[in-house]
C-alpha cells in the first residue's frame, strides 16, 4: 500500500513540476512577443502586485476569479 501511495505522490509531484514549467515557458513566450502582463482572457493589464506574486499568472484577478467559479 505504501508503494502505491508513494507512486501516486511522485506522479502528482511530477505533474505539478510539468505544469509549472509550462507556465514559465508561456510567460517567457509572452515576454518575447511583448504580450507579457496582459490577461489572456479579457486583454486587460494584469495588476503589478499580481505579477509580483506570481509572474506566470496568465489572467487578471477578475478573470481568474471567474474561471474558479
Give the residue extent of every domain in the chain. 2-68
Architecture of the domain made up of 2-68: Up-down Bundle (1.20)
- Residue in the block written with cell 511530477: 14
- Residues 6-12 have a mean pLDDT of 90
pLDDT tens digit sequence for 30-66: 999 999 999 999 999 999 999 999 999 999 999 999 9
Closest to 27 in 3D by CA, of 68, 63, 59: 59
pLDDT band at 24 (very low <50, low <70, confident <90, very high): very high
Are 62 and 42 in contact by the 8 Å Cβ rule? The answer is: yes
DSSP state at residue 41:
T
Q: Could you tell me if 30 and 36 are in contact, meaning their C-beta atoms sit under 8 angstroms apart? A: yes
Checking if the pLDDT of 18 tops 80, the result is: yes
| pLDDT value of residue 7 | 87
pLDDT at res. 68: 87
Amino acid at each position: 500500500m505504501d508503494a502505491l501511495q508513494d507512486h501516486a505522490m511522485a506522479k502528482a509531484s511530477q505533474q505539478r513540476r510539468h505544469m509549472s514549467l509550462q507556465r514559465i515557458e508561456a510567460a517567457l513566450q509572452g515576454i518575447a512577443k511583448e504580450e507579457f502582463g496582459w490577461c489572456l482572457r479579457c486583454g486587460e493589464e494584469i495588476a503589478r502586485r499580481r505579477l509580483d506574486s506570481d509572474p506566470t499568472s496568465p489572467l487578471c484577478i477578475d478573470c481568474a476569479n471567474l474561471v474558479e467559479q
